[in-house]
Amino acid sequence: MTQDSSFEVSFSLPPAVRSISRPPKQSAPAVPLEPKYTRLPRVTQVLALALHFQDIIDSGEIRKHADLARLG
Q: pLDDT tens-digit profile of 15-60?
A: 777 777 778 778 777 777 777 778 888 999 999 999 999 999 999 9
Longest alpha-carbon distance in the chain = 103
For residue 12, name the pLDDT band (cuts at 50, 70, 90).
confident
- pLDDT at residue number 55: 93
| pLDDT of amino acid 33 | 74
| pLDDT score recorded for residue 2 | 63
Helices (H) and strands (E) in the chain, counts: 2, 0
CA distance 44 to 37: 13
Q: What's the whole-model pTM score?
A: 0.46
